[in-house]
Chains A and B, each alone.
Chain A
Amino acid sequence: MSPQTFAEMSEAEFDTLLDDYIEREAASYGEVPAEIFFDLLLERSAAKTRQPLHLEVTVVDDHLVITPDREMGDVIVRGNEVLVGERRLVFQLAGAAQM
């Protein structure tokens, strides 16, 4: 863990942090150590299964754009489509309804 927060970091220190990050990632694989990978994967996949996935729907140039509140490997959301397994759900904007 870093001893500093961003508020305690100068612009130059922040630039150095970013430069070093990019250099290091470009020179390595940036992977999770195998020794802890499986435990974290199984722990998080079980926990995330129980969490709801919230979808934000906006209208951009008369098209629906759906944005999930997080990335989730088994639910794919792009544009106005949601893929759950082999099922593709396509959402379309309906006209205004009068009740």
Chain B
Amino acid sequence: MTTPSIQIQLPASFGPDRERVVIGYLAGRLYGRDAWAKAFEAFDLLDQAVLVTARGYYTFRTLYQQVVDRLMADAYLGELLTLRDVEQQSPALWSRFARRIISEFTQRGWRRSDVPEARLLLSYLLYWWGAFARGYAFEVEVFRDLRNSGVQFQAHNLLDRQQRYSPSDLAVSGMAGDVKTSIYFVQAAAPLEHDFYIMRLVARGRTHMLAVLLKPAAWDIIDGDTVLGHLDTIVDQLPAPVRIRHRGQELVVVDYDEWKRRILRLQGEAQ
């Protein structure tokens, strides 16, 4: 029996340097702004890469939807919501599904030593799986923490596909917000239309921190002074609310616990 042929068609601008940066991401060797910017661009370009089989042409984006999202997303979220300690237990759940993606990729006959470009497809599927799975784990962590902290909010139901793909993840005191991991936030960058974004960052290469990015109008509802900040110093200025002006946009960044404290005060005054 002969092995069915497959072929990978990459966008013209996806050269060996782009491939090396994808490998650099997998190897944990992205250092500095330029390396990260190139990695995001590389994964942008891979959206348009195509797998050609005897059955047809499929973009990597379509394959992610068909092979990963449609087959694994609901099962992952179902298990995620049963975890007692999401922060501690969800990485193991994420990695179990990541290994399932590798098995699925192999079973479909796409793991081929004579088509090394197919490794880019697997890299792409794992990258987006990481963005999806880590993103929803973080969202569940935040929802549980807000509930435990006494913050009143309305959140979408992750197990309901219709609600899961709602325009915003949650509403707090009439303000619409999203919960985002930093990689997904940057990769799927879009106009910042919500009032606030709860996000997780890594500071100084190792310490993780939770912060909230707000539009100035949303900050005005919460009320309070800000200090003028700069991108280079923002990590050191937190937890104080920091106002940044950059690339024509003005935003307020505040430590997550400080934001919660102010929201609780706002909601207490409203009662």
Show the binding face of A for B, using Cβ within 8 Å. 1-7, 9, 11, 14, 17-18, 20-27, 29-49, 56, 67-76, 78, 83, 85-86
A76 to B162 CA separation, bound complex (whole angstroms): 11
Of B62, B117, B161, chain A has the most CB atoms within 10 Å of the CB of B62
Q: Is B126 an interface residue (CB 8 A)?
A: yes
Residue among A38, A47, A85 making CB contact with B234, cutoff 8 Å: A38
Q: A17-B26, A26-B91 are in contact. Are A42 and B183 (CB under 8 A)?
A: no
Do residues B181 and A46 form an inter-chain contact, with CB atoms below 8 A? no
Q: A44-B189, A46-B247 are in contact. Are A26 and B92 (CB under 8 A)?
A: yes
Which residues B28-85 have CB closer than 8 A to chain A? 28-29, 32-33, 35-38, 40, 44, 47-48, 59, 61-62, 65
Closest Cβ–Cβ distance, residue B180 to chain A (whole Å): 8
Closest Cβ–Cβ distance, residue A61 to chain B (whole Å): 13
A70 to B45 CA separation, bound complex (whole angstroms): 9
Do residues A78 and B231 form an inter-chain contact, with CB atoms below 8 A? no
Residue among B44, B117, B232 making CB contact with A35, cutoff 8 Å: B232
Enumerate chain B residues within 8 angstroms of A6, measured Cβ to Cβ. Answer: 19, 23, 116-117, 119-120
A79 to B20 CA separation, bound complex (whole angstroms): 34
Do residues A40 and B95 form an inter-chain contact, with CB atoms below 8 A? no
A16 to B48 CA separation, bound complex (whole angstroms): 27
Q: Is B268 an interface residue (CB 8 A)?
A: no
> Which of B144-152, B202-210, B218-226, B256-264 lies at the interface?
B202-210
Do residues A27 and B91 form an inter-chain contact, with CB atoms below 8 A? yes
